[in-house]
């Protein structure tokens, strides 16, 4: 009879570490390959989608919403929150405010709060919603806030950091600014109070 010998394979610490890091390197290679292929396919999908619906992009450009090709930014997504059914009561109160004559005098100061081309007062409290590097993002956020009846504006750009600050105000007292900040937090923003 033939004797069969069982062999035992013993791996040392060094061999186990080489095997482990080899597997990690193979996983990293496949992850990097998938990531690079995914990033390269995104613009292709965007051009295919825009080519499939040329009339829709032409209508969007005519409507003044800007070109359809750039990716959606955070502030564009915030602007689309207005379609949420939970936000309809403020819109109803706005229509009620336009029908009552007593509320009409209080409504004009909100749109004419502060023009970005004018100089801002140094005294008072401001509620800052965001500081962004792109002017179009800041303007999109201001438009979204104004749709929700907030007196928003883009503050004068600081030469030191070149950021566009979206602010509300000025408020004479800190408690008024804090009340506005609390209301913004309720709407999903992360504002800060500035003097």
Kindly tell me if the per-residue pLDDT of 30 is higher than 90. Answer: yes
In tens, the pLDDT along 162-181 reads: 888 999 988 889 899 999 99
Distance from the Cα of residue 61 to its chain's centroid: 22
Under a CB-based contact definition with an 8 Å cutoff, are residues 186 and 122 in contact?
no
Most confident range, picked from 14-28, 46-60, 69-83, 124-138: 14-28
Q: Which segment of 40-54, 104-118, 165-179 scores lowest on mean pLDDT?
A: 104-118
In tens, the pLDDT along 85-100 reads: 555 555 444 444 455 4
Distance from the Cα of residue 142 to its chain's centroid: 12
Task: For the domain made up of 74-194, give the CATH fold.
Answer: Alpha-Beta Plaits (3.30.70)
Q: Which segment of 5-9, 79-83, 106-110, 153-157 scores lowest on mean pLDDT?
A: 106-110
What are the domain boundaries of the chain?
14-63, 74-194
Q: How far apart are CA 187 and CA 75, in angstroms?
A: 14
First to last CA, the chain: 96
Q: How far apart are CA 178 and CA 195, in angstroms?
A: 12
66 Cβ neighbours under 8 A, 6+ residues apart: 60, 136
């Amino acid at each position: 009879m033939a004797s069969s010998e069982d062999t035992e394979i013993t791996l040392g610490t060094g061999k186990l570490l080489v095997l482990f890091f080899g597997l990690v390197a193979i996983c990293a290679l496949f992850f990097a390959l998938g990531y690079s292929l995914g990033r390269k396919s995104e613009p292709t999908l965007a051009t295919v989608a825009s080519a499939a619906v040329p009339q829709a992009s032409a209508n969007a450009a005519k409507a003044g919403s800007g070109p359809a090709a750039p990716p959606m930014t955070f502030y564009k997504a915030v602007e689309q929150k207005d379609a949420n059914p939970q936000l309809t009561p403020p819109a109803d109160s706005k229509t009620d405010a336009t029908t009552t004559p007593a509320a009409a005098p209080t409504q004009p100061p909100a749109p004419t709060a502060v023009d970005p081309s004018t100089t801002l007062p140094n005294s008072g409290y401001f509620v800052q919603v965001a500081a962004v590097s792109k002017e179009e993002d800041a303007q999109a956020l201001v438009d979204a806030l104004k749709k929700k009846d907030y007196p928003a504006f883009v503050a004068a750009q600081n030469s030191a950091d070149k950021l566009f600050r979206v602010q509300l105000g000025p408020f004479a007292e800190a408690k008024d600014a804090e009340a506005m900040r609390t209301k913004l937090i309720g709407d999903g923003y992360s504002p800060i109070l500035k003097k």
